């Protein structure tokens, strides 16, 4: 098999449950990890430095942008968020599958740079359900919630840019769907290194040469 891990971009409106989904995958599926982003947003109650995010101020974020430390970054609802490049590439090169939980602007930037990545859109069952989830989270001011809902509809309309569409109505079902996507992507023919078939004695070198020339 190819040594590189699968880059799985999980995008969709804020409050749709992407973080919980990705956390579930990392606990259920060996060989997966979660990229920890940098953000200029303040920590919410219970969020820990270096676990949910690396929390930085505007000047620190700008320095990281200048150093080209991000594979993508975007301003989302008035705060900056960026995916650190080095940790991502190191994990992929070790053969670990990396989940990137990012907004639609970030997903678009990754689409321009990583041809082999898998793009998964997570949608709420309805905008009313999304509103309830955002209100229940009770951590963002009401004007932020309205802004997030307004943008959600535009993001959903762009579903065709993604490979998979998961409707997160029931968390366990959505987790199983994302898990199935990752497991199927791992065994895709285009990720198979033909040399490994020869090395494992599954195909004679001479036969492989005939098939590939
Ligand atoms: P929250 O503040 O609710 O944690 O995240 C707000 C939005 O920012 C979510 O849609 C989340 O997916 C997105 N986000 C988190 N990290 C990143 C990142 O590194 N890059 C981009 N582009 N978006 C991110």
- Tens-place pLDDT, residues 97-117: 999 999 999 999 999 999 899
- Tens-place pLDDT, residues 136-187: 876 677 788 888 888 899 999 999 999 999 999 999 999 999 999 999 999 9
**Sign of the CA dihedral with 170 first, then 171, 177, and 178 last:** positive
- CB-neighbour burial class of residue 170 (10 A; exposed 0-12, middle 13-18, buried 19+): exposed
pTM of the entire predicted model: 0.92
pLDDT over 70 percentage in the chain: 97
Angle at 122 between CA 45 and CA 2, to 5 degrees: 105
Q: How far is the CA of 213 from the centre of ligand 1 (A)?
A: 46
Element containing residue 74 per DSSP (H, E):
strand 70-76
Domains and CATH numbers, the chain: 7-35+96-211 (3.40.50.300)
Spell out which residues line ligand 1, taking CB within 6 angstroms.
14, 18, 37, 41, 72, 74, 76, 81-83, 101-103, 105-106
């Amino acid at each position: 098999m190819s040594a590189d891990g699968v880059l799985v971009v999980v995008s969709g409106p804020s409050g749709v449950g992407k973080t919980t989904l990705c956390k579930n995958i990392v606990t259920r599926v060996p060989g997966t990890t979660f990229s920890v982003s940098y953000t200029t947003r303040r920590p919410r109650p219970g969020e820990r430095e270096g676990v949910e995010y690396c929390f930085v101020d505007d000047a620190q974020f700008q320095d990281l942008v200048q150093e080209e430390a991000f594979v993508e970054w975007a301003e989302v609802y008035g705060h900056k968020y960026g995916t650190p490049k080095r940790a991502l590439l190191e994990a992929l090169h070790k053969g670990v599958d990396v989940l990137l939980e990012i907004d639609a602007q970030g997903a678009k930037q990754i689409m321009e740079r990583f041809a082999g990545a898998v793009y998964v859109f997570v949608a709420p069952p309805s905008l009313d359900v999304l509103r309830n989830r955002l209100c229940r989270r009770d951590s963002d001011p009401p004007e932020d919630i309205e802004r997030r809902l307004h943008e959600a509809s535009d993001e959903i309309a762009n579903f065709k840019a993604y490979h998979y569409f998961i409707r997160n109505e029931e968390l366990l079902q959505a987790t199983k769907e994302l898990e199935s996507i990752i497991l199927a992507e791992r065994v895709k023919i285009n990720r198979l290194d033909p040399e490994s078939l020869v090395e494992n004695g599954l195909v004679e070198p001479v036969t492989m040469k005939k098939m590939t020339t």
